[in-house]
Chain A
Amino acid sequence: MEQSEKTINPMDLIKKIEVALNDSLETISKCVSINELNSLTVMTVGKKSQLIELRSQLKNVEVSARKEIGKVLTDALEKVEETFKLKQSELNLIAEQNYDRNDLTEFWAKLDNTYKVKTGGLHPVTEAQWDLEEIFISMGFSVTDGPEVETDWYNFEALNIPKDHPARGMWDTFYLESGVPETVLMRTHTSPVQIRVMKCYSPPIYTVMPGRCFRRDTPDARHLATFHQIEGLVVDKGITFAHLAGTIEKFTTSYFGPNIHARLRPAYFPFTEPSAEFEITCTVCSGVGCRTCSMTGWIELGGCGMVDPEVFFAVGINPEEWSGFAFGFGIDRLVQMKYSLNDMRDLIENDLRLLRQF
């Protein structure tokens, strides 16, 4: 018995190995689920596999053939293992894909509940104001602010608008019942901040001042009695109208995009001379002409000009030594343009149905 065992024909063993190999490969390939495959681990690649069993018969082969058969067996084992792993990953993938499905869009859709507000948001005017501040800061301007209640001197007189000046009619003013009549008022523009800056600090001055302003105007779709403005002021040596034009252009292309440009046309303001209105390429039609821009291709944005010598006199700056320019425009109007808001009064209603959309 022992003798006979020792004399296994090497060719027979090789044949047995081939059969066992094919058998194992077939078993693996027939598997349809990862669980089935896993249950066959021991049978195919584990200790009880046919190939491992055949390994025990190796010692019954004549010594000279053992090495060669050993290699055939090893190759077969490797082949099975490799196939098993491939099959395993293949079935794993299928298993993963067939896993219990969770529709995560449900979570998202629930958040759209109109009544239970789950998020917060900035007022669009704040967003616009911060965008503007950022651009001007990056251009080298510092941001400043002042009080909303002003005296007549800061709001008008220092700006070359004395009492009884016909230009006073340009600003309908809320006066307060405080002190001498018509001396204390709600600022009609942020220009008094310019006066404060020039009185407090000496040039060079490069600053912008955003803030809330008030005009005694009955609100309509395009105007509010309470609104927001940003103004800019530059006072330095050798500042010219060319710098004003260049700065407005730089701001315009930075804020609105490289295809939007600015142009100036003559205007009148008591505190600047020369004065200009500035217009920008219509952002709706890119200058081709549309209803928003009344077919002109341009939209009026704000006013600007070279600081009037009278204003410099009022704050004690020598206009022969220093020159400067100022500009200003409404922030709410930018917001209205940006969001195609029909009625500006919607901005102060604070209806969450609207606020949530910005």
Chain B
Amino acid sequence: MIVTLNWLKEFVDLPITVTDNNSVIDLVEVFNSLGLVVEKYSYYGVGIDSILICKVLNIAPIKDADKIRLATVELAEQKPAEQKPAEQKTVEVVCGAWNFNIGDFVPYAPIGSALPNGLEIKERKMRGQVSCGMLCSATEIGLFSDQNGLMLLDVTDQDIGRSIVEVLNITPDIIFNIETEGNRPDALSVIGIARDLAAKYRIPFKDNLPLDGELTVENLNETLSSKANFDEISVVIEDPDMCKAFGMVEISNVKVGPSNFLIQQRLLASNMRPLNNVVDISNYLMLERGQPSHPYNMDLINDRMIRVRIASEGETIETLDSKSRLLGKQVPGISSDTGDLVISDGRNAIGIAGIMGGSSTEIDDKTENIVLEVANFNPIAIARTSKRLGLSSEASKRFERGVDPLGIDASIVRYVRLLEKNSSSDICVKSSGILRSTAFEKVKVMLRPKRIKEILGIELTCKEVKDLIEPLGFKVKLDVSETNSTERVDIDNVSADILDVEIPSFRPDSEREIDIIEEIARVYGYETIPKVFVRPPEIGYNFDLNKLIKQIKYFMVSQNFYECWTPTFLPIGIQEKVNIFGKEIRLSRPLAKEEAVLRMSLAPGLAKVAEHNDKRKFTNINLFEVGHVFKDYKEETPPVELVKLGAISYKNQNSLENVVEAIYGIVNMLKLKDVEIVNSWEYNPDSQTEFDSTYDFEPELQNHTWMPFSLSRFTSEELLNTSKTFKSGTAAYILSSGKPLGLFGQLSNKYDDVFGISTEACGYFELDLLELLNADRKIIRVSNSKYPDTEFDLAFIVDSSVNALTLKDEIESVLEGYISYVWLFDVYRGVPLASNEKSLAFKIRASNPSSTLSEEEISNLRNKIIQEVSVSLDARLR
């Protein structure tokens, strides 16, 4: 919303002057403290006293120049009045603008003058041509224009050589660009902003329109009815819910022409294009008072009647922007329990109510008789139609927020007054009036001063409350039930438990006690309210899942992995292409087709990042992400949400080993119980412990940990599906106490094609963090031996189907009772072994907790191991 200091001063006598910088800074602060944030402000009409008006006499090309031309302009030399008439003087100016013609009047900055931006005008030579001064655009002299290029002035020959300030009657001003909050319709008007400032500065607010007793518009009376016959036009409100009030004035003998310079400048400052007096004043009125209105060419209204009605399905109208609009059309996703409200004449719609008028009754140069509509429409209806048509206007913005239902009369009067001044003819107001389909009822709210203290933490007397909000238009009275006598009690001297507050009609955003308390706080000043730190009764905790995430992220970083943040949304179909199966969950209106469905795995995102960095010549690319993924496998709404840790290791010496090491580290760090690694081809979920129940987090306070939502678990089918995104021969499940935590291995070959990575050089794992959080932990009983360890190697030849871990388990089972460590240190396949054989070499380190191991004992252990594995796994010593 644009307001200017002078415009505001028409309503409140602010102690601010354009030249007093401190007072301006103070005003900006006051705006901000009221929640009317000043985005920027700029000076207007300042520093242009030396700019003169000149007339273009000739335009000539300049040799070798195609961007600039030479203009010869006329400037009358000013002489004192008693001397002979002004002498003609011409100067030659080089000019780069192309929008002007011979005979135009334009602003001229003479040599020695300066522009508002500080540019000093000197004699300049361009392409060998001397330029004596400068012809100016509106922007260059801080004024507004809808022209590109020079500012073309609507003046006459008498004004040649005179100061632009004097001729156009320009008063120095400041233009404020105010960001207004969505709930306050009144803040979209100069009058509303002025009211706020009046309250804050404690200066009386005065309307620029003396309403009381001075109405000159004839027959401006209200009727509680949905129908009325004006002199020329009859009006009927067919849907009273959609239109609470309809004001109208019929004006004849109008001479359409330009509106005055000030009105045009203020419209332009507000990014509205001046058209003609009839339309401009309607717009000006909206900016000033917040009341949209619409002028119709009375002679083009068919059947001399106006109907406020719902458009029929499929009805069309051509709006003022020359576009055809289809009304009543259903748009998916936009509820349409009410239709589109239109203003129509006896035959067709002549305007979309509250949004935009139709071109059939548009005002043109020849229009002599007009009808001005000043109505009050249902905000929700306007919002819906605007959304449905994708058509928003300055008027619709205001109607959506709620326009003052009692402001119609003042707006009509203001319109007529302004048109009187801006029409070269004597306009004739034929008839006017307001139809009110529903009587306006004042809103009264009960305000408890004690509640102010409870919400704001400050104590205010009744008088203070009154002084704060009455300037905003609220009326504060003692509650009638509290005064037990008919005698009038002076509010200034009492304390009351309840006050009655009457809400002004232009503040539909205020309707509850709490809203009034906000108004009190706003005028009182948020910055004046003391700052008190809360003292929570309990200490603060992080929730368990978050603590686990923190532990894991630190661990991954220690393993040289970088944390990434990949998109939650993926391209349609890409997941299926890399064997991530499941019903795609689509966004209904994605921003881009690359981000259109919810991810079911972190793998595609991480693969893409690996490729991105590979392209940038990185090696040793290790990346991880902790993020939510989504599954729709049970046709649930909303879909199931899982928290995953995904990690990719790419182009390292041994990327696959990297990820196995990382998982090994996590499992050990968390002391997970009964960890198993099962190769995907050996995995048969049905033989595993039952785990496919979906569980809910009970919404209860557990160990001060708040998890107010439920997350789901894998189903067995789901698990088998998940493994398909890996190479079927290079993938394994990791389980703890029989429950799957996730998978690791090499991503499927399909990633090579889809993401341009080489999956042979890559390791990937994905773990379910909720499973990890809920996995059983080992009960740790520490013991150590005082006696030395013995270390020996055993290499066995086994069938290649025997898993390393199975053999290791067998060896360990022999060593029960000893403190032992068993690990694989070499794997060998090849000659002289048979093709279906492999050699697994283990190191065994053991000690006896109670004595030194004797040679004999060691030898016994060796033999026992060799015998055990020979029996159970058909392993023979190499």
Contacts and interface: CB of A to CB of B under 8 A. Distances in A.
Interface stretch (B49-57, B169-177, B236-244, B581-589): B581-589
Contacts of B704: 142
Contacts of A316: none
B623 interface: yes
Nearest to A123: B563
Interface string B595-628: 1001000000000010011001111111100011
Interface stretch (B291-299, B475-483, B540-548, B722-730): B540-548
B706 interface: yes
A273 B181 contact: no
Contacts of A236: 534, 537
Contact of A349 (B400, B553, B612): B612
Contacts of B553: 122, 126
Contacts of B558: 120
B877 interface: no
In which size bucket is the chain A interface? 35 or more
Nearest to A239: B534
A245 interface: yes
Given A140-B540, A145-B546, A177 B586 contact: yes
A206 B537 CA distance: 9
A214 B700 CA distance: 28
A143 B384 CA distance: 39
B22 interface: no
Contacts of A206: 534, 536, 538, 540
B565 interface: yes
Contacts of A126: 553, 563
Contacts of A151: 638
Contact of A142 (B542, B612, B622, B639): B542
A139 B536 contact: yes
Interface in A28-62: none
Nearest to B451: A320
Contacts of B705: 142
B708 A146 contact: yes
The listed residue with most B CB atoms (<10 A of its CB), out of A119, A177, A226, A265, is A265
Nearest to B608: A350
B183 interface: yes
B706 A144 contact: yes
A242 interface: yes
B23 interface: no
B825 interface: no
A178 interface: yes
A212 B628 contact: yes
A148 interface: yes
Interface string A16-27: 000000000000
Contacts of A218: 591
A258 interface: no
Mostly, the A contact residues are mixed
A147 interface: yes
Contacts of A306: 455, 514
Contacts of A178: 585, 632, 637-639
Interface residues of B, number: 106
Interface stretch (B29-37, B128-136, B361-369): B29-37
A268 B36 CA distance: 11
B183 A167 contact: yes
Contacts of B538: 140, 142, 204, 206
A307 B248 CA distance: 43
Nearest to B583: A178
B619 A268 contact: no
A106 B563 CA distance: 28
A76 to B, nearest CB: 53
A146 B184 CA distance: 32
A148 B539 contact: no
Interface string A138-172: 11111111111111000000000001101101100
B457 A242 contact: yes
A261 B384 CA distance: 42
B565 A350 contact: yes
A275 interface: yes
Contact of B563 (A115, A121, A196, A268): A121
Nearest to B38: A296
A225 B567 CA distance: 10
B333 A181 contact: yes
A68 interface: no
Interface string B54-80: 000000000000000000000000000
Interface stretch (A5-13, A85-93, A97-105, A246-254): A246-254
A274 B517 contact: yes
Contact of B556 (A118, A120, A240): A120
A298 to B, nearest CB: 9
Interface in A184-213: 184, 186, 193, 196-197, 199-201, 204, 206-207, 212
A73 interface: no
A349 B530 CA distance: 44
A351 B637 contact: no
Contacts of A207: 706
Interface of A: 114-123, 125-126, 130, 133, 136-151, 163-164, 166-167, 169-170, 174-179, 181-184, 186, 193, 196-197, 199-201, 204, 206-207, 212, 214, 216, 218, 225-226, 234, 236, 238-243, 245-247, 249-250, 263-268, 270, 273-277, 294, 306, 308-309, 323, 347-353, 355-356
* A-B CB proximity, top 10 nearest: A266-B35, A140-B536, A242-B457, A240-B457, A179-B637, A268-B181, A196-B708, A274-B518, A200-B699, A137-B540
25 contacts: A120-B561, A120-B563, A123-B563, A143-B540, A147-B628, A148-B568, A166-B400, A174-B589, A174-B590, A175-B589, A179-B638, A183-B637, A212-B568, A212-B628, A218-B591, A226-B568, A236-B534, A240-B453, A242-B531, A243-B457, A246-B531, A265-B35, A266-B518, A273-B518, A351-B612
